[in-house]
Amino acid sequence: MDPRTTRRGFLGLSLSAAALGTLAACGGGQAPTQTGAGGSSASAPAGGGAAGAATYWFLSGQPGQGIREDSVKRFNAANGGNAITPTEFQNDAYKTKVKAAIGAGQAPTVIWGWGGGGLREYVQNDQVEDLTDWFGQNAPVKNRLFASSFGAATVDGKIYAMPAETVQPIVLFYNKTLFDKVGAQPPQTWTDVMNLVDTFNKNGIAPFSLGGQSRWTNMMWLEFLLDRIAGPSVFQNAFEGKTDAWSDPAVTDMLTKVQDLVKANGFVKGFSSITADSNADLALLYTGRAAMMLHGSWTYGTMKSSGGSFVSGGHLGYMNFPPVEGGKGDPSNTVGNPGQYYAISSKATPEAKETAKKFFSTTVLDDAEVSGWVKNGGVPIVQGADAKFGTGGDADFLKFIYDVSNNAKTFAQSWDQALPASASETLLDNIAKLFQLSVTPDQWIDNMNKVTNK
């Protein structure tokens, strides 16, 4: 390339840069949501095309997907055809996709989510409807749900989402057959856990299955350990942005214990490349390659359907996370998702919003849906749902979940859902590195303090 033309080329570039102005100038001052609530192309299910037609995005994966789809079908049947158009996405990609769609002005009418920090971000950007008044006018809808579920739906005192679906504490699952095989008992304390790790490794069985690439699965370990060691106050401080909340000695204790577990080969080989979306972690438990697994209660349904006779034959054991000796946390505490949350996009057409609200009041968690959840091992957040558990095969598990959720002194929300997106991403990143043993507890604490300090 002739040096003269190069220079000319660059000159031309800088001229065009100056002349054209910056993209920020074009885009600044207005949110990029100009395509309007109606959505631009008929085939893309965004916003709401025909009057009143609403769109609804949620997670894929059975059994939840099927139950949600059934609810939509019932609503559509009672409300003329295609009132609501559903679309499903995988978990790990869902969070990014919803945000991108909202940013592009193509948010679905009904936005499925986990509440907490994610919901807060939507609220701060005026992307979701304030439902406080609507709940005021529709008291029966509000009162039949678990009161505790509204916590994650509330931002600055106002309710921005409808709590729905099931309460999902994190459970320590185990394979009873493998325990019998090595003659061991489920762990009652943390020391038991470490001993079991040795026992199972000696017998060529992976102690714990883990979908490490998804990272939020690793996070469950930290959540429980910290709570058992010090109670919920430490994370609460971090969440509130107190300076150096993570520098509490309990955090160092927790991080060290996690790394000890990793160093003792507590997790299945290859855990860092297993994703939770693929359900490979569940497969390891029900095919007998791993003895235990710390995971959400929603996996019960998947294990039941994909695991052959694993669940129906009574080989699946479950318990709350064991206490840590000398820990201050109440052993009844649990962490997880106190519910799932349906928000309504503020950019949808008024008709679409009405459709969504009608969906909330008539079909969400109606009897049919409640039965659906119960049948698949989930406890809906409806008062008196335990009457429906019956005595069938899943009744024990359902009762267990119900008791754990009800009796928990504190039911803390998953950290990555409580924190805002950028902090949560740093958290997950550092957790991944922690499990890789590539960051020390002190470094972890420093990194986290940097993002949560106000």
Contact positions with another protein (CB under 8 A) in 272-291? 272-275, 277-280, 283-284, 287, 289
When asked if residue 35 is in the footprint of another protein (CB under 8 A), the reply is: yes
Distance of closest approach, residue 62 Cβ to another protein, in angstroms:
10
Alpha helix positions (H), 40-90: 64-78
Phi, psi at 441, each rounded to 5°: -55, -40
Residues 283 to 342 in contact with another protein, rule: CB under 8 A = 283-284, 287, 289
Please report whether residue 5 would count as binding another protein according to CB under 8 A.
Answer: yes
State which residue, 227 or 416, has the beta carbon closest to another protein.
416
A 10 A CB-CB count for 395 gives 15
| Cα four-point dihedral sign 395, 398, 403, 404 | positive
| Of the candidate residues 121, 192, 366, 403, the single one contacting another protein (CB under 8 A) | 121
Q: Which stretch binds another protein (CB under 8 A): 25-33, 154-162, 222-230, 323-331?
A: 25-33
Minimal distance, residue 307 CB to another protein, in Å: 11
Q: Tell me the three state secondary structure of residue 191.
A: helix
With CA atoms as reference, report the closest residue to 127 among 139, 140, 143, 109. Answer: 109
Q: Least distance from C-beta 454 to another protein, angstroms?
A: 16
Return all residues near 216 (Cβ < 8 A) that are at least 6 apart.
Answer: 276, 414, 416, 428
CA atoms 337, 338, 344, 347: torsion sign: negative
CA distance 171 to 301: 13
Please identify, using beta-carbon distances, which residue of 61 and 372 lies nearer to another protein: 61
56, 58, 112, 122: residue in contact with another protein (rule CB under 8 A): 122
* Residue 225 binds another protein, judged by CB under 8 A: no
Q: Which of 66, 70, 76, 90 binds another protein (CB under 8 A)?
A: 90
Span near another protein by CB under 8 A; candidates 14-22, 146-154, 228-236, 326-334: 14-22
Strands 334-337 and 166-175: antiparallel
Are residues 110 and 356 in contact, defined by beta-carbon separation less than 8 angstroms? yes
Nearest distance, CB of residue 279 and another protein, angstroms = 6
Pick the binder of another protein from 109, 149, 168, 213 (CB under 8 A): 213
Query: Cα(128)–Cα(109) distance, rounded to whole angstroms?
Result: 9
26 binds another protein (CB under 8 A): yes
The least distance separating another protein from the CB of residue 225, rounded to whole angstroms, comes to 20
Which positions ≥6 away from 262 have C-beta within 8 Å?
Answer: 435, 437
Q: How far is the CB of 419 from another protein (least distance, A)?
A: 11
Angle formed at CA 295 by CA 95 and CA 417, multiple of 5 degrees: 30
Length of the chain: 454
Interaction pattern, residues 240-269, with another protein; x per rule: CB under 8 A: ----------------------------xx
What distance in Å separates the CA atoms of residue 318 and residue 294, rounded to the nearest whole number? 10
Q: Does 194 bind another protein (CB under 8 A)?
A: no
- Looking from the CA of 38 toward its CB, the CA atoms found within 13 Å total 6
Q: Collapse the DSSP code of 108 into the 3-class scheme (helix H, G, I; strand E, B; otherwise coil) and give the result.
A: coil
- For 323, the token pair is 């206490």
User: Which residues, 344 to 373, sit near another protein by CB under 8 A?
Assistant: none
* Largest distance between two CA atoms of the chain: 85
The yes or no reply on residue 408 touching another protein (CB under 8 A) is no
30/391 with CB nearer another protein: 30
185 scored as a contact of another protein (CB under 8 A): no
User: Which stretch, 26-34, 161-169, 346-354, 398-406, contacts another protein (CB under 8 A)?
Assistant: 26-34
- To the nearest whole angstrom, how small is the minimum distance from the Cβ of residue 346 to another protein? 12
Q: Using CB under 8 A, pick the residue from 74, 99, 181, 242 that binds another protein.
A: 99
